[in-house]
Structure 1
Amino acid sequence: MIDKQSVVDARRVYYSLLSRLFVFSWDDDRFSGVQQMLDLMAANPMDENSQKALENLQLAFDSRNLESVASEYDRIFHAPPDPIRTSVSFYEEGYESSSPCLEIKNMLLKTKFRRDEKRYKDTEDNFGFLFSLMSNFIELGKNDENYRDLSDEIFVRFLNPYIDEFVEKLYTHPKAEIYRNVASLMASFFAFERIYYDGIESQNVKSIKVKDGLSRAEMARRESNKKRRENDKRRKKELS
């Protein structure tokens, strides 16, 4: 069993790294801090696969190679004929800006966070934006149960059902070289995250209807509600 308090900072750093790798920006410093985070992770890799991926990424994110990283990002996520989609809406319902985007906007109303439209060009359900939220919510959750609950909800409701499909698309994309290592790192990290969340199951099924007539979205909502009830029960027990 994981000592959850002992891995808070490590989880925050991983999500912070992923946010920098998947949030589109025109800024010259879009990859600021990436090399330092990679060095930190490489000192304590999760497993053999992540160790190799981190070694390759350390070379790729040398300051002399950042233009190559940005160019590869554009070829994977923007260039025709088959750019990889990065929104939960697309993986859940097959088109952009659907109900997950609205759900996340409503979630943000409970917080001090809003999407900075000048910085974040994509919608609120973009994976990069969700990774950024996770990093911030994990940090704030050290002292605020509400933010801990919100980070739980983001993972259970929005990331867990769709992240494996996204990672697979990234790993197998013909233009992915540097980002294939990112995909390997993500595979190890999200396997760890499922252990952190008490062995929650992957939902890597590439169809809208997946089990007993339920959509992945409905399965995710039920899992999220279950997690919320568990958190409420835990709090009541702590107060009693």
Structure 2
Amino acid sequence: MQDNQAINKARALYYNLFANFFVPASDVENYLELVKLVDILKKSPLDTNSGKALEKISELLDPTSNIALLQEYDEIFHNPTSKNIRTTASYYDEGVESGKKRVEMINFVGKTKLRRNEKKYHEYEDSVGFIFSLMAQLSDLIAQDEKEYENTVHCIFAQILNDFIDEFAKELYEHNSAVLYRELIVVLHSFVEFERLYLEVSKPVPKEKVEKVQACEVEEISEEEKERRARNKALKAQGPKEEACPVDIAYDIEDNI
């Protein structure tokens, strides 16, 4: 694996970008940081297609308000009248929430000095937002010469993210309400292909689809899932004082004992 500080810093920026789109904060200051991040990345894109997509995202993002982004996010992931895109690795692996992939992610987090801030973040550990946020911080630590996390990052990508990200991206790209997110998926596609080359991980062979719980089948949602959704709804209703999951405080960083 290459040992390149600049590459790992760039990887951290991209993971940070995706984290902020999949756990969008209600805090406008955090949103403005996201706008700046898009402006930075569009100057040196991974390829032509992602460059055009970043330019389009920059045009679509309101420079002063995150309302449009939050509305599109809710339409895609929380609208009870339309198909909702599921966001956890367990769902794409087994067709259920909180499955084996969540256990694997909990174990990976346990190998780091990063910890989930449960008061601020209620999504499962194998949700795309959590994974992107964790990978952003670990990539940044690697760029700071904490090379002990290289293997953890490699394993999370190879064993968790790589297995389901293509299917997740396809469903999101084809969603009727996706505008900003359709452009984001173009960027994500280019980045995932880069990660596969950089980490020397092969694209997974398409597997037989598991039977998934439909969004409208409320009776089949577990009690744990209902409680998680209720916590998220309450957290969002509190507004800027209780951010959904700003990347800079999604984890409490502690020294290992």
TM-score, normalised to structure 2's length? 0.75
- Shifted more, 17-26 versus 88-97: the winner is 17-26
| Pair 1:12–1:204, CA change in 2 (3 A) | farther
Q: Report the equivalent of 2:92.
A: 91
Please give the alpha-carbon distance, in whole angstroms, between the structure 1 residues aligned to 2:206 and 2:64.
Answer: 37
Q: Which residue of 1 aligns with 2:188?
A: 186
Query: In the TM superposition, what is the alpha-carbon distance from 1:32 to its structure 2 partner?
Result: 4.1
- Residues 162, 203 of structure 1: 8 Å contact kept: no
- Partner AA of 2:142 in structure 1: G
Partner in structure 2 of residue 228 of structure 1:
none
SS at match of 1:33: helix
Counterparts of 1:184 and 1:40, CA distance in 2: 17
Superimposed CA distance per residue, residues 158-213 of structure 1 (whole angstroms, 9 cap, x where no aligned partner): 111110111111110001011111111111111111111225224444525xxxxx
Indicate if the aligned counterparts of 1:101 and 1:123 stay in contact, CA closer than 8 A: yes
Contact between 1:141 and 1:148, CA under 8 Å: does it hold in 2?
A: yes
Taking only aligned residues, the RMSD between alpha carbons, in angstroms, comes to 2.1
2:63 corresponds to 1:49: no
The corresponding residue for 1:78 is: 78
1:38 alignment counterpart: 38
Asked if the contact 1:60/1:69 (under 8 Å) is kept, the reply is no
| Offset at residue 64 of structure 1 (A) | 3.5
Q: Which residue of 1 aligns with 2:61?
A: 61
Correspondence for 2:197: 195
Task: State the number of aligned residues.
Answer: 209
Q: 1:24·1:120 contact (CA, 8 Å) conserved in 2?
A: no
Question: Matches of 1:49 and 1:200 in 2, distance apart?
Answer: 22
Instruction: Give the counterpart letter for 1:115 in structure 2.
Output: R
Q: Are the counterparts in 2 of residues 21 and 31 from structure 1 also a CA contact under 8 Å?
A: no
Partner residue, 2:246 = none
Q: CA deviation at 1:62?
A: 2.9
| 1:44/1:206 CA distance change after superposition, 3 Å | farther
The structure showing larger relative contact order (alpha-carbon pairs under 8 Å, at least 6 residues apart) is 2
In the alignment, residue 47 of structure 1 is paired with which amino acid?
A: D
SS in 1 for 2:169: helix
Equivalent-residue separation in structure 2 for 1:206 and 1:85 (angstroms): 18
Quote the offset at 1:19 in angstroms: 0.6
Cα distance, 1:120 vs structure 2: 1.5
Query: Shift in Å at residue 100 of structure 1?
Result: 1.1
Matches within 5 A, 1:126-145: 126-142=127-143, 143-145=145-147
Instruction: Work out the CA distance in 2 between the residues paired with 1:61 and 1:206.
Output: 37
- Which residue among 148, 151, 161 is the counterpart of 1:149? 151
After alignment, is 168-177 or 102-111 more displaced?
102-111
1:13, CA displacement in angstroms?
Answer: 0.3
Q: Tell me the equivalent position of 1:163.
A: 165
Q: Given residue 13 of structure 2, which amino acid in structure 1 is its aligned partner?
A: V
- Rounded Cα–Cα distance in structure 2 between residues aligned with 1:206 and 1:17: 31
Give the drift of 1:9. 1.1
**In structure 1, how many angstroms separate the alpha carbons of the residues matched to 2:119 and 2:27?**
11
State TM-score, norm by structure 1.
0.80
CA contact (8 A) 2:88 2:128 kept: yes
Deviates most, 146-155 or 25-34: 25-34
Distance in 2 separating the partners of 1:156 and 1:130 = 12
| Partner Cα separation in structure 2 for residue 32 and residue 123 of structure 1 | 26
| Structure 1 match to 2:16 | 16
> In the TM superposition, what is the alpha-carbon distance from 1:118 to its structure 2 partner?
2.4
Deviation at 1:82, TM superposition (A): 1.2
Mark the runs of 5 or more structure 2 residues left unpaired by the alignment. Answer: 211-257
The answer (yes or no) to whether the contact 2:8–2:142 under 8 Å persists in 1 is: no
Label 1:177 to 1:116 Cα distance change in 2 as closer, same or farther (>3 A). Answer: same
